[in-house]
A and B are shown apart, each in its own frame.
Chain A
Amino acid sequence: MQCPQCGAQMNKHAEKPVTLTNDEIILAIHYCPHCGKVESEELNGI
């Protein structure tokens, strides 16, 4: 994933299971080594 703030390549460093109202999903967490921006994206459920 590209950083939406500075354009650097972000590092995907975590996948976190989370429970929404009716679904369990995995949240992938990306961190920008240049500016510290954090982004997440929802992946398919477990």
Chain B
Amino acid sequence: MSQTRPLSIPVILGTTRKGRMSSHAAEFIWEEVRKRQDVITELIDIATLNLVVDDAGEAIKDPRFSEAMERADAVIIVTPEYNHGVPGLLKHVLDSCLKEYIHKAAGIVGVSAGPFGGARAIENLLPILRELGLVSIFWDVNFGNVQKTFDPSGRLVDENYIRRAAKFIGELIWMAKVLRYGREQVPLQ
């Protein structure tokens, strides 16, 4: 594997809804990724992307998002659960790229006001990631009862999430390294 470039692992905040609690989860995960050596990261808020809604797919590619996905070795997608699924605008954003994702690792952070921590949204997202060529890991982070997990200022209240996030990020880094090695060194037969 190339030793000169650090791994790039951006965190995608996958909702534009006002009052979104997922921003606390995304900022927490982003801070935990920033603590890792040899990893660069950025927080991508989909509300800041310039994506039109009168077309879809790669026709509406946002250059900043596309470049971040091209640089990425792995992505972390922070998604709330809205009506048992992912936000429509998150799907709209993800659909705007394809070649940028292929054979790269993906980890999902689910967020919900109820007890299941976005589990249904995560299950909803997995087949989408597969079709995009992303390789999902088997660790998730589930922020259930999110209004009790963070205080109103966004400070983490339940410190068990630090350990859970560490396991999740560790697995994602492993997968990102393996897949980068494959992209760099292993030709398709």
Among B5, B70, B98, B182, contact of A13 (Cβ-Cβ < 8 Å): B182
A38 touches B100 (CB 8 A): yes
A11 touches B185 (CB 8 A): yes
A29 touches B102 (CB 8 A): yes
Dominant secondary structure at the B interface: loop
Q: 1/0 per residue B89-109: CB within 8 Å of A?
A: 000000000111011000000
- Cα A11 to Cα B102 in complex, Å, equals 13
A14 touches B185 (CB 8 A): no
Among B5, B98, B184, contact of A31 (Cβ-Cβ < 8 Å): B184
Give A18's nearest chain B residue, CB to CB: B98
Which residues of A lie under 8 Å from residue B103 when comparing CB positions?
13-14, 29, 31
B98 touches A11 (CB 8 A): no
Minimum C-beta distance from B18 to chain A (A):
35
Which residues of A lie under 8 Å from residue B187 when comparing CB positions?
11-13
Interface centre among B98, B102, B182, B185 (most CB of A within 10 A): B102
Give A15's nearest chain B residue, CB to CB: B188
Among A12, A15, A16, A36, contact of B70 (Cβ-Cβ < 8 Å): A36
Measuring CB to CB, which residues of chain A are less than 8 angstroms from any residue of chain B?
11-16, 18, 27, 29, 31, 33-40
Measuring CB to CB, which residues of chain B are less than 8 angstroms from any residue of chain A?
2, 5, 70-71, 98-100, 102-103, 133, 182-188
In addition to A18-B98, A36-B2, 12 A-B residue pairs with Cβ atoms within 8 Å of each other are A11-B183, A11-B184, A11-B185, A11-B186, A13-B102, A16-B98, A16-B133, A33-B2, A33-B185, A36-B5, A36-B71, A37-B70
